[in-house]
Amino acid sequence: MPTPARRPSARKPVLLGLITALAAGLLGFVSYRATAPDMPASDTPATAATAGQDPDLYRELAKLARRDAGDKLARGRTDAPVVLVEYADFRCGYCGKFARDTEPELIKRYVDSGTLRIEWRNFPIFGKESEAAARASWAAGRQDRFWAFHRAAYAEDAEGKGFGAGRLRELARQAGVKDLDRFERDTGSPEAVRAVAEDREQAYGIGATSTPSFLINGRPFAGAQPTAVFTQAIEAAAAEEANVGSAGDPAK
């Protein structure tokens, strides 16, 4: 099994004071052996927590959604009632499975209708090529081509070709990146390094140790689970938000 890169020793938890609660209440999210890239995906739908529900913690985790209109690595309305945050690695086979098999259905059913927003977080944990691909995806985003790069990198015929410098330039070309020289400069820039590091630190800060990992309105899910797991979670979160809205509106 590939060994994830060691976490930086100087990283700071994203949610100070909540790490103990995460470790105690979300054990299934901290340990992802069943969803590592070279192991079978679990047949059992992931649950938000394996050791009890914690609405207060979920509300805190939900605050990690940026809802930034200028976020180049997100799609969907900033005011969507549900936000799915995905922590993923371009070298992760199950991340590719989610990108090909599940995400398009979620976009069609929920993003296009305004119910769901998807926010990507680069979480490179499988070495130098993972890091390079993450920075390249960020660079493609500077030219509004992140999602096209994402699609090209996760295409079935792309698996096994690696993410060397020449390959990354080719993926950028396939994605329609106009200025390839700028793309290469951006890929190697301090800004790209910093953006990827911030995403990775956020993932480690909530206890994620493998990819793909998700937050759906703050509720954690692990692995490329069946599409039904995601649709059920999204619909439940949307219904919960609708109920909250109705409770706060005397006219309803």
pLDDT average per 10 residues of sequence, the chain (252 residues)? 44 44 42 38 36 78 97 98 98 97 98 98 97 98 98 91 97 98 98 98 94 97 95 98 75 54
d(CA 173, CA 184): 11
Phi and psi torsions of 208, nearest 5°:
-70, 140
> What confidence score (pLDDT) does residue 249 get?
60
pTM above 0.85, yes or no: no
> What confidence score (pLDDT) does residue 251 get?
57
**4-7 long-range CB contacts below 8 Å, 24 or more apart?**
4/125, 4/126, 4/209, 4/210, 5/124, 5/125, 5/126, 5/127, 5/130, 7/204
Contacts of 233 (CB under 8 A, 6+ apart): 48, 216, 219, 221
> What confidence score (pLDDT) does residue 4 get?
55
> What confidence score (pLDDT) does residue 114 get?
98
> What confidence score (pLDDT) does residue 142 get?
98
Contacts of 19 (CB under 8 A, 6+ apart): 13, 205, 207
> What confidence score (pLDDT) does residue 244 get?
84
State which amino acid sits at residue 231. T
d(CA 120, CA 193): 16
SS3 track for the chain: CCCCCCCCCCCCCCCCCCHHHHHHHCHHHHCCHHHCCCCCCCCCCCCCCCCCCCHHHHHHHHCCCCCCCCCCCEECCCCCCEEEEEEECCCCHHHHHHHHHHHHHHHHHHHCCCCEEEEEEECCCCCHHHHHHHHHHHHHHHCCCHHHHHHHHCCHHHCCCCCCHHHHHHHHHHCCCCCHHHHHHHHCCHHHHHHHHHHHHHHHHCCCCCCCEEEECCEEEECCCCHHHHHHHHHHHHHHHHHHHHHCCCCC
> What confidence score (pLDDT) does residue 97 get?
96
**Angle of CA points 72, 77, 222, to nearest 5°:** 75
Please report, for residues 137, 139, 192, 233, 247, the alpha-carbon distance to residue 196 in angstroms, rounded to integers and kept in the order given. Answer: 10, 11, 6, 27, 39
> What confidence score (pLDDT) does residue 104 get?
98
Phi and psi torsions of 133, nearest 5°:
-65, -40
